[in-house]
Amino acid sequence: MKPTENERPVFPFTSIVGQEEMKLALLLNVIDPKIGGVMIMGDRGTGKSTTVRALVDLLPEIQVVANDPFNSDPHDPQLMSQEVRAMIQSQKEVPVTTTKITMVDLPLGATEDRVCGTIDLEKALTEGVKAFEPGLLAKANRGILYVDEVNLLDDHLVDVLLDSAASGWNTVEREGISISHPARFILIGSGNPEEGELRPQLLDRFGMHAQVGTVKDAESRVKIVEQRARFEEDPKSFRDAYQASQDQLSQQIRDARERLGSVQISYDLRLKISQVCAELDVDGLRGDIVTHRAAKALASLKSRQEVTPQDILTVIPLCLRHRLRKDPLESIDSGLLVQEKFSQVFGYSFQ
């Protein structure tokens, strides 16, 4: 029998060597999806896709309405389809089941209809019903939407994805017929900078920007190669060896999601974050907002109720580096520029 998608062995997240920046950005977005997603840029063969797919293994189960194509939340009106809302309003019984948070892969050649869904005009006109065929955005609701080689995707399609990710809704309009459904997902894009950059206004819409590079340390490279060989030889025993650490991290994520609402960030720290953004000449307020959210998510991940300057130092390069204006004469990495400005404003050394 052909194995289903769920039966394919996935490389354990906790066994991935290095790439701490990428792993942290992914974990923080899972704890607080409102951070706004991650753009992962780096060399080929650095484990970008492997790490994203490994993340799904750690995610908790969620309650969904049974047989609903939008993974509707049975309790939150903002995350349920119009049909489910109508059932609740008419006090009909809504069947509920639990499922793992899903990850949807967006293929490079996908059309807008495939992504957003289509309306069957013939059925709508002849039968008078809104016949909607859901797309990938419907499937990704309350899950993760992963776009590999996002920098090669048509700009118009990237715009559609970012609009849905920001608003939490997808609207399809054809010949005067309009259908909306919830589309709240964590958008993760990856790409190789050698194959072209995203336009700055699109890049700015991603909450965080993680950079990954090829591991240079010989011992680490050997360890990565050995682990990959062991996994391919016997995936089950390799996964079993990491089951305890996987379970521990999964529980840590669940606890952090529950704790997040009570985490505090002092006015003084918020003021300094905004001062860093202003002095770096960051356009708009997205940088300030994302840095606040990411710092609180990190404090929550570390089982703390209060954000520290160290939390901000850890996340601020990820939140701001892609929002800085490009200076062709500047040779220093944008992440280091952010750290230097942080050090000046906070009076806090990162050495």
Specify the CATH number for the domain of residue 315: 1.10.8.80
Same domain, 51 and 155: yes
Same domain, 274 and 202: no
Same domain, 190 and 108: yes
Is the residue at 157 inside a domain?
yes
Here the CATH number for the domain that contains residue 116 is 3.40.50.300
* Orientation angle between helical segments 334-346 and 309-320, nearest 10 degrees: 150
The reported pLDDT for the residue numbered 289 is 94
Q: Which of 189, 212, 235 is the last residue of a domain?
A: 212
The reported pLDDT for the residue numbered 124 is 56
286 part of the active site: yes
Instruction: Name 186's bridge partners.
Output: 144
* 8 A C-beta contact, residue 54 and residue 13: yes
Strand 38-42 to 186-191 pairing: parallel
Same domain, 276 and 146: no
> Can you read off the two tokens belonging to residue 86?
């109508």
CA atoms within 13 A on the CB side of 207: 27
Is the residue at 147 inside a domain?
yes
Predicted model pTM: 0.85
Is the residue at 75 inside a domain?
no
The reported pLDDT for the residue numbered 110 is 84
Same domain, 120 and 193: yes
The reported pLDDT for the residue numbered 251 is 92
Is the residue at 319 inside a domain?
yes
Q: What domain range includes position 153?
A: 36-60+101-212
Is the residue at 337 inside a domain?
yes
Select which of 286, 293, 321, 323 is catalytic: 286
* 8 A C-beta contact, residue 287 and residue 300: no
The reported pLDDT for the residue numbered 350 is 53
Number of domains in the chain: 2
Number of alpha helices (DSSP H) and beta strands (DSSP E) in the chain: 15, 11
**CA–CA separation, 133 vs 177, rounded Å?**
13
Same domain, 177 and 294: no
The reported pLDDT for the residue numbered 2 is 35
Residue with tokens 């799904």: 56
Same domain, 197 and 276: no
Report the alpha-carbon angle 181-186-187, nearest 5.
Answer: 95
Look at the alpha carbons of 349, 19, 318, 291 in this order and tell me if their dihedral is positive or negative: negative
Residue with tokens 């300094």: 272
Is the residue at 22 inside a domain?
no
The reported pLDDT for the residue numbered 313 is 92
- CA-closest candidate to residue 275, choices 345, 348, 204: 345
- 258 burial type by CB count under 10 A (0-12 exposed, 13-18 middle, 19+ buried): exposed
Positions of the chain with pLDDT lower than 50, given as ranges: 1-6, 329, 331
Is the residue at 137 inside a domain?
yes
Same domain, 208 and 307: no
Same domain, 192 and 114: yes
The reported pLDDT for the residue numbered 244 is 92
The reported pLDDT for the residue numbered 217 is 81
Is the residue at 50 inside a domain?
yes
- CA-closest candidate to residue 164, choices 130, 191, 140: 140
CA distances from 319 to 85, 131, 316, 322 (A): 36, 41, 5, 7
